[in-house]
Amino acid sequence: MVDLFEDLDPPQRLLMGPGPINAHPRVLAAMAKPLLGQFDPKFREYMQQTAALYRGVFQTQNRWTLLVDGTARSAIEAALVSLIEPGDRVLVPVFGRFGHLKVEIARRCGAEVRVIEVEWGKVFTDEHLKKEISSFKPKLVAVSHGDTSTTMAQPLAALGKACREHDALLYVDATATLGGMDLQSDAWHLDVVSAGLQKCLGGPPGSAPLTLNDRAEKRIARRRHVEEGLQDDRYKAGEGPIIRSNYFDLAMIMDYWSDKALNHHTEATTMLYAARECARVVLQEGLPAVFERHVRASRMLTDGLKAMGLELFGDQAHKMPNVTGVHIPKGVDGEAVRRRLLLEHNIEIGTSFGPLHGKIWRIGTMGINANEKPVREALSALGKVLARRAPG
Ligand SMILES: Cc1ncc(COP(=O)(O)O)c(C=O)c1O
């Protein structure tokens, strides 16, 4: 019989998958702090601090740096539904599952989408992307920085400039990389960037930091509408088509985060505390030190896996330092190994999707788990589980 009234007492697992990972203890402590009303001056101050902290994390001066309440996907959807007007041309380079997600959302927004693909485990060359932009002339390019499904990171430094030359906006999904890998929103001319907390930022899923620059603001502002119950006498709607989602309407979310504090949703108090603490933890360590720690952890993991005779997945020159794909050896039941790691060693590693399902495991080294001790524990447990199934 299921005991509905048992106390909540989840097992202590080491989460070494592609996210969520174990939240930093400081983040969990921040989430236990007292709630405040959404218009309490102290809470508004916390919102402003959160925006300022994420400017540091995103490496931007963008005024509009805020949280979308929801998992990382909510900010992807908010960006795309607010930037894409029906009929707009949108180019989506797909190098894994999360590229396909952006294709699907862009199509729901009524875009004319051109999909370009490379084999999973590879990334695009700058030349390939530039050629597609100049031939298709999209209004928007929507791309993942890192795709956790393949562990690859697309180089972005040249893409923003190419988009500007052709007057396209560039949206970047940095869910997998923010706080774990260098991402220079301003220097690389990224117009809109969004993420989630549950990977390198070391928080729980449920809040999605997003930043947008003046170019993106211009496109969104022409679609600004205010809900009928909130309009005053001076209100004049934007001349552009209304954004087809209320919850994900970035113009409304910007009004809420602005000094106008125009009511939209009720900010998720506890998640804002969490997001704020994630950024503080990362910035206090310092971005270069954080990135270097992720690289060290990744190297330790990949060296350990190779020493066990396992083969790494994908183009290693473009692998993210925060997640590693490793081929499941022939004759090994990948799911049985994952189950044993979880139930016998309290360690979670990731499965994989689509063409890679059943072929690779994905092991994360993110946030506080990008450290020697968790990596050593994961390697040692995997070694034991694999050794037990070896013949003889
Ligand atoms: C690159 C990328 N984008 C989007 C997502 C979706 O994030 P969420 O599950 O928080 O909505 C993920 C999650 O793994 C991801 O890796």
pLDDT one-digit tens code per residue, 278-325: 999 999 999 999 999 999 999 999 999 999 999 999 999 999 999 999
pLDDT at 389 over 80: no
Atom 8 in ligand 1: residue holding the nearest Cα: 72
Those residues with Cβ within 8 angstroms of residue 117's Cβ, 6 or more apart along the chain or in another chain = 93, 94, 95, 99
Centre of ligand 1 to C-alpha 194, Å, is 10
pTM summary value: 0.97
How far is residue 67 from each of residues 46, 104, 154, 279, 286, measured CA to CA in Å?
12, 23, 24, 12, 21
Q: Which two tokens stand for residue 388?
A: 């037990």
Centre of ligand 1 to C-alpha 166, Å, is 28
Q: Which of 15, 148, 175, 348 to mutate to test the pocket of ligand 1 (most atoms within 8 A of CB)?
A: 175
- Locate the ligand 1 atom nearest the alpha carbon of residue 148 and give its number: 16
pLDDT of residue 392: 42
How far is residue 24 from each of residues 265, 320, 346, 378, measured CA to CA in Å?
27, 21, 18, 18
Those residues with Cβ within 8 angstroms of residue 251's Cβ, 6 or more apart along the chain or in another chain = 82, 220, 221, 223, 224, 225, 238, 243
Q: Which two tokens stand for residue 354?
A: 């689509």
Centre of ligand 1 to C-alpha 102, Å, is 11
Centre of ligand 1 to C-alpha 286, Å, is 24
CA distance 242 to 44: 28
Residues with CB under 6 A from ligand 1: 18-19, 71-73, 98, 144, 147-148, 173, 175-176, 196, 205
What percentage of the chain reaches a pLDDT higher than 70? Answer: 99
Token look-up 């390939």 returns 128
pLDDT tens profile 150-187: 999 999 999 999 999 999 999 999 999 999 999 999 99
pLDDT at 144 over 60: yes
- How are beta strands 347-348 and 14-15 bridged, if at all? parallel
Centre of ligand 1 to C-alpha 106, Å, is 16
pLDDT tens profile 190-230: 999 999 999 999 999 999 999 999 999 999 999 999 999 99
Those residues with Cβ within 8 angstroms of residue 239's Cβ, 6 or more apart along the chain or in another chain = 222
What percentage of the chain reaches a pLDDT higher than 90? Answer: 97
Q: What residues are paired with 65 via a beta bridge?
A: 211
